[in-house]
Amino acid sequence: MKRREFLVLSSAAAAAILLGGCDTSLSQTGESGLQKALHIPPMLEGIDIDGVLHYNLSIEENLHVFFEGTQSRTFGVNGSYLGPTLRMTNGSEVSVNYTNKLKEATTMHGHGMHLPASMDGGVHQIIEPNSSWSARYRVKQKACTNWYHPHIMGKTAEHVYKGIAGMIIIDDEQSRALDLPNTYGVDDIPLILQDRFFDANGELDYSPNRMQIMHGYHGDIFVVNGVVNPYVEVEAKEIRFRLLNGSNSTVYEIGFKDGRRFKQIATDNAFLESPVTLQRVRLSPGERAEIVVDFSNDSSNELLLQEFRQNKTFVSVHVVKAHSTRTYVPDVLTELEKYRLDDALVTRHFKLSGQMGRFFINGVSMDKNIINEEVPLNQIERWNVTNAMNVEHNFHLHATHFLILERDGSSANVPENEKGYKDTVFLAPNESVTFIVKMTDYTDASNPYMYHCHFLEHEDAGMMGQFIVI
C-alpha cells in the first residue's frame, strides 16, 4: 500500500516527506510550494558530414531529480530524462543515429515524420542492447512540431513513461518569413506535458492494473520537460508555446487560469491557414499545438498555464522583463493543399473496441506478422474511425498527415483549430471521425507503417494495425 499512501499525499504532504519534513509542498496549483526553473531541452541542429546532418542520440538508464533530495531511476536520451530537441529544415538530408545503452531492446519512432517505412522506427526496427540504428532520409514536409519516442511491441508505454521522448522542430522558408516568436527557449518555448505516479520513495511507478489499462494510466503529478511544478521567465511580448501531450493516456484541456485568450497557429503537422483565437485547447496523447500568447500588458505578473479537467497547473509564467523585440501574429499563416472529396476513390472503416483487457481494431489485435491494409501510392482516400467503446481513444497514422472532414457525420462538428493537417485525432466515447488522406513518395512491400490508438496502454494491449504502401 505504499504507493497508494503516496498518491493520497502527493498534492501536498508527500513533498514534506520527500524533502525531510520541511513545509514545502508539491503544489499543483502554482500558488505555493517549491517552484523550479523550467528545463529547456538542449537543441541539436545536426553535425554536417558530407552534406548529411547527423543527430547522435544515446538511450540510457540514469537518475533524475524530480523532488529535491531524491533521485529517481529513469530512462533518457543524452541525459537523465527526455532528450534534446532536434531541429531540421525542409529539404535537408538527415541521419538520426540512436545507440541503445539499455539492458533491453527498444525502437525509436519519428512521430509525425514523413519518411520511408524502413526508417519509421516502428515495431520492426528493433534496436538491441549495445547496438545502434539510424533513420536516414530527406526531410519532405512543411514546418511543424513533431517528436520521437519508442515504439517497441508491448512496452511502448513503459519506455515512454520512464522518460524516452523528445521534440523535433521542422522549419521551412515560409515559417522563417512569418512574424512569429522564433528564438528557441526565449520566446519559442517547448512544453512536453506529462503526468506521472511516484511511489513512497519518489521513484517513478509504472504498474497499471487491468482497470488502468482499460481507462489509461493517469498520473497524479504533472511533469513538464522533466520538471515538477516549474516556472518560466518571459518578456512582456508575444510568446510561442509548442505544446506536446507526451502523456501515456491522459487528455488535457489546456488554457490560462485567468481565462485569457490566445492564438493557436499550428496543429500536428502544419500551420493553420489563419490563427484561431481560443481560451482552451484540447490535446490527447501524441497531439501537438502551437499557441501564441500576448503578455505585452502583463509586466511583473504571474500567469498559470492550467489543465482544466483536473484543475492543476502545468507551468507558472513569470513576466519579468521588458520586451527586447516584438512580433505580431499575421492574419494569414499559410495556404494548405487540400484534396477534393470527390477524388477519394476508397473509404476505409476502422472500429476501435476492446474486451477483457485486450483492444482491437476491426475485431483483431495487433500481430506484427500480419499486414492489415494495403494502400496504393498517391490514392486519395476517406478513412472513417469509430470509437465503439465508453472510454476515450485517439487514432494516430504513421508517415503522413490528414485533414478531418467530419465528426459524427457532420463537418459542422469540426472546430476551426482542427482544420489543419494532423496525424493524431481524439475520439470521445462512441464518437466517429472521418478524414481524407493520401500516402505519398514512398512504397515498400515488406516494411509496414502503423496505425493505432496513441493511448499507450491501449496500443500495447493490441489496438494497433499495420499497412503497406504499394
Q: What is the pLDDT of residue 33?
A: 58
Q: What is the pLDDT of residue 324?
A: 86
- Asked whether the CA dihedral 157, 253, 420, 293 is positive or negative, the reply is negative
Q: What is the mean pLDDT of residues 162-183?
A: 97
**pTM, rounded to two decimals:** 0.93
CATH number for 341-469: choose from 3.40.50.300, 3.50.50.60, 2.60.40.420, 2.40.100.10: 2.60.40.420
Q: What is the pLDDT of residue 46?
A: 97
Q: What is the pLDDT of residue 60?
A: 98
Is residue 32's pLDDT more than 80? no
pLDDT tens per residue across span 439-452: 999 999 999 999 99
Is residue 84's pLDDT more than 90? yes
Q: What is the pLDDT of residue 123?
A: 97
Is residue 15's pLDDT more than 70? no
> Under CATH, domain 188-321 is a member of which superfamily?
Cupredoxins -  blue copper proteins (2.60.40.420)
Q: What is the mean pLDDT of residues 19-27?
A: 36
pLDDT tens per residue across span 230-262: 999 999 999 999 999 999 999 999 999 999 999
pLDDT level of residue 467 (50, 70, 90 thresholds): very high
- The lowest-confidence range among 41-45, 155-159, 238-242, 353-357 is 353-357
Q: What is the pLDDT of residue 340?
A: 87
pLDDT tens per residue across span 89-114: 999 999 999 999 999 999 999 999 99
Q: What is the pLDDT of residue 92?
A: 98
60 alpha carbon, distance to own chain's centre? 21
Q: What is the pLDDT of residue 8?
A: 31
Strands of the 166-171 sheet, one edge to the other: 43-44, 85-89, 166-171, 144-149, 109-111
Look-up: residue for cell 509496414? 448
Q: Which of 200, 195, 158 is nearest to 72 (CA)?
A: 200
Q: What is the mean pLDDT of the chain?
A: 93
Distance between CA atoms of residues 215 and 357, nearest Å: 10
Euclidean distance between the first and the last CA atom of the chain, given in angstroms as a whole number: 53
Distance between CA atoms of residues 331 and 425, nearest Å: 25
Which phi and psi (to 5°) does residue 8 adopt?
Answer: -65, -35
**What is the 8-class DSSP label of residue 38?**
P
Q: What is the pLDDT of residue 17?
A: 37
Is residue 11's pLDDT more than 80? no
Task: List the chain domain ranges.
Answer: 43-173, 188-321, 341-469
pLDDT tens per residue across span 393-413: 999 999 999 999 999 999 999
* All three cell numbers of 136: 536516414
389 alpha carbon, distance to own chain's centre? 23
43-173 is classed CATH 2.40.340.10: no
Q: What is the pLDDT of residue 341?
A: 87
pLDDT tens per residue across span 325-375: 899 999 999 999 999 888 998 999 999 999 988 999 999 999 999 999 999
Q: 167 with 244: CB under 8 angstroms?
A: yes
Q: What is the pLDDT of residue 6?
A: 35
